[in-house]
Amino acid sequence: MKLKLHVNGAKHTVEVAPMKRLLDTLREDLALTGTKEGCGEGECGACTVLIDGAAVNACLVPTCQVEGAEVRTVEGLASDGRLHRLQRAFLDNGAAQCGICTPGMMMAALALPKKSSLEQIRAGLAGNLCRCTGYMKIYDAVAQFLAGEKR
């Protein structure tokens, strides 16, 4: 079945089974492999993308469900070779170690309310597992990013 997708500001038409996981469509049909799979059952958040600004697990979403919606993945963050401020903050604070959780973690962070307190950051990232960092540096990165947003 032909589906029209909006991903990172670009329009794509893909020929996929409507129930194909959005995660697989992104990775296989659009070669956007920045979105990762850690569990395939909605537990780890490695596959987090934004759909109309809301963070969702792409492993649980059938592709047909996002027709007409705006999908944003990690590949859509940097523009013209310039890193997004959130990416900079992850680098500066050592928030990416092995990096496998990083794309999903950043997408989840982007869906946080602008004035999030530390408690809100923790709650907002509770669906994203990181096994490397102990989360501390991720809080630092997200807090630095949000502090900049406020200004």
Partner 1 sequence: MPKKSGRDGGARRAKSRSGELRTVGHNVARAEGVEKVTGAARYIDDLVFDDMLYGATLRSTVPAGRIVAVEKDPQFDWTGFVFVDHRDITAPGRNAVAMITEDQPFLAVDRVRHQAEPIWLVAHADRARLAAGLARITVRYEKEKAQLDFETATEVLKEIAIKRGDLDAAFARADVVVEGTYRTGAQEQLYIETNGVIAQPGAGDHADGITVHGSMQCPYYVVRALRVLLGLPEAKVRVVQTTTGGGFGGKEEYPSVLAGHAALLARKAGKPVKMVYERHEDLIATTKRHPSIITHRTAMKKDGTILGIDIDLRLDGGAYVTLSPVVLSRAAIHATGPYRADAVRIRGRVMMTHTPPNGAFRGFGAPQSQFAAEVHMDRIAAELGIEPIALRRKNLFNTGDVTATGQKLHDSVAAHEVLDRALARHAIATKAAAKARGKTAAKGAVKGAVKGATKNGAAANGAPLRGTGLALFFHGSGFTGGGEVKLASKAGIALTKDGVQLLVGSTEIGQGTRTMHAQIVAESLGIPYDMIDTADPDTARVPDSGPTVASRTCMVVGRILQRAAEKLRAQLGDYDDGKSFKKRARKLLEARGTVEVIEEYERPGDIVWNDTTYEGDAYGAYAWGANIADIEIDPISYQARCTHFTAVIDIGKAIHPILAEGQIEGGTLQGIGWALYEDVVMRDGKMHNASLTNYIIPTTLDTPPITVEIVEHPYKNGPFGAKGVGECPIDGPAAAIVNAIRAATGKRLDAVPATPERIMKALV
Kindly state the smallest distance separating residue 96's Cβ from ligand FES, in Å: 5
By CB under 6 A, what part of segment 22-61 binds ligand FES? 37-40, 42-47, 57, 59
By CB under 6 A, the residues from 78 to 137 that bind ligand FES are 96-102, 130-133
Rounded to a whole number of angstroms, the minimum distance from the CB of residue 52 to partner 1 is 20
Nearer to partner 1 by Cβ, of 1 and 78: the residue is 78
Find the shortest distance in angstroms from Cβ 54 to ligand FES. Answer: 15
98 contacts: CB under 8 Å, gap ≥ 6: 131, 132
Partner from ligand FES, partner 1, none contacting 57, C-beta within 5 to 8 A by type: ligand FES
Name the site residues for partner 1 (rule: CB under 8 A): 27, 32-41, 43-44, 46, 73-75, 77-78, 83, 87, 89-94, 96-103, 106, 118, 121-123, 125-137, 139-140, 143-144, 147
User: β-pairing, 70-72 with 2-7?
Assistant: parallel
Contact predicate 75/32, CB 8 Å: yes
User: Residue 136: which of partner 1, ligand FES, none does it interact with, CB under 5 to 8 A by kind?
Assistant: partner 1
**Least Å distance between CB 85 and partner 1?**
11
Distance CA 147, CA 125 (A): 17
Beta-strand relationship, 48-51 and 70-72: antiparallel
- Residue 13, phi then psi, degrees to nearest 5: -115, 125
Coil/strand/helix, residue 108: helix
From the centroid of its chain, how far is CA 49? 4
